[in-house]
Amino acid sequence: MPLFGTDGVRGLANGTLTADLALSLAQATAVVLGQGRSAEARRAAGKRTTAVIGRDPRISGEFLSAAVAAGLAASGVDVYDAGVIPTPALAFLIADRDADFGVMVSASHNPAPDNGIKIFARGGVKLPDVVEQRIESYLTRDKLLPTGGEVGRIRRFSDAEDRYLLHLLGSLPARLDGIRVVLDCAHGAAAGVSPEVFRDAGAQVTVIGADPDGLNINDGVGSTHIDKLAEAVVAHGADVGIAHDGDADRCLAVTADGTPVDGDQIMAILAASMQERGMLAQDTLVATVMSNLGLHVAMRERGITVKTTAVGDRYVLEEMNAGGYSLGGEQSGHVIMSDFATTGDGVLTGLHIVAEMARQGKSLAELAAIMTVYPQVLVNVKGVDKTRVDDEVVQDVVRTVEAELGDTGRVLLRASGTESLVRVMVEAADGASAQRHADAIADVVRERLAL
């Protein structure tokens, strides 16, 4: 199996993802991303290769980020260690420092025992598949390592968080004065950033999930457990709730009565606002195949084109860059606002959603009414061979369901990019029909693709 998945390298820390692998991966990255005309030009000008690294607060991030820093420095790369910081902050800081690349140690929404390594190129952009393949190919090759004064230095990036906060505040179209916000930081990387920037923007902030101890990241809190946020919003009489995941690259929200608002609804709100203000490039939104049919309908009614990509925010970003689009994202809450970020940024997204409430003088429920959410059922089928999703019998049942649904629904069948399972997603005009069709397809998948 390839080392890189949908979003970097991920696995059980000290199991499949070891310090040795992290060090080797860092050295291979230094070779591949330290090449090219821009790197050669920097060296010709007497400038050293530089990288920014960061991590989320899970306990294994301490030794894995140390291994990454060691591997880079041993390869002649000067390292700026930003410590615990959101993934989108790292992406911003790569561009802000004009670094050659960056490495984030995080497993995002996964539980604490897991960890991952995400690599960003110059400018803070995620790597295309071909570059990841090149890095992987260098893992087992002999490397000529520098000695003496040519080895890299490791420095603390002391003002990293301040730079990011100022950037976020400068992006806002309106202040958040008086709006009561509950933030769920998932005991993750947002705990030290999100509450501060929301308060600086004028919001009245209550915080949950902001006591990371290295072991509790995503544990019963954050965007994967949004019920906790809903309870807190209602209990505190807040106007809105914002939930992050462990590395704060995604954002989900809840209304004043605790109703969840997902990434599709957030994108619909932002797309309509940006179109109104002349900021939605080419009147186009980029979304993945998992986005709800209701998003497509709502955008079509407003003359907004929806471009569709494979699952993964880097594929969304690739399409955005190729077409020059300014907004894209995923139902899961990865939202990319390319005027201000090179990747999904949960803190930025949350700020702009609340700013839109302030700008229009409307509640989040009123804003979210822009789209009708079609009933959507997702069944994760485990214990099957995900490489055989093209099985003809499986595809026949999918075609049969699609024919029955017609224009009132759709089917998506795909192998997970990060887990050993097949996902069956069905949308229909009513929940019962969606569940019935999803279960029928899942049954066939279990039977035909059993290991």
245 annotated ligand-binding residue: yes
Based on the residue annotation, tell me whether 108 is a catalytic residue of this protein: yes
Rounded to whole angstroms, what are the CA distances from 312 to 1, 59, 290? 18, 26, 10
- By the 8 A CB rule, do 179 and 155 touch? no
Dist. CA 360–CA 350, nearest whole Å = 16
DSSP annotation of 148: G
Rounded to whole angstroms, what are the CA distances from 222 to 164, 185, 241, 300, 377? 21, 6, 11, 32, 22
With H, G, I as helix, E, B as strand and everything else as coil, classify residue 142.
coil
363 annotated ligand-binding residue: no
* 3-class SS string, 3-62: CCECCEEEEEECCCECHHHHHHHHHHHHHHHCCCHHHHHHHHCCCCCEEEEEECCCCHHH
- Strand 284-288 to strand 376-382: parallel, antiparallel, or no bridges (unpaired)? unpaired
Catalytic residue among 65, 75, 106, 108: 108
Residue 401: in which H helix or E strand, if any?
A: helix 392-405
Dist. CA 147–CA 196, nearest whole Å = 43
396 annotated ligand-binding residue: no
- By the 8 A CB rule, do 154 and 340 touch? no
211 annotated ligand-binding residue: no
Residue 71: in which H helix or E strand, if any?
A: helix 60-74
Phi/psi of residue 169, each to 5°?
-60, -35
Query: So which residues are the catalytic ones?
Result: 108
- Binding-site residue positions for Mg(2+): 108, 245, 247, 249
- Binding-site residue positions: 108, 245, 247, 249
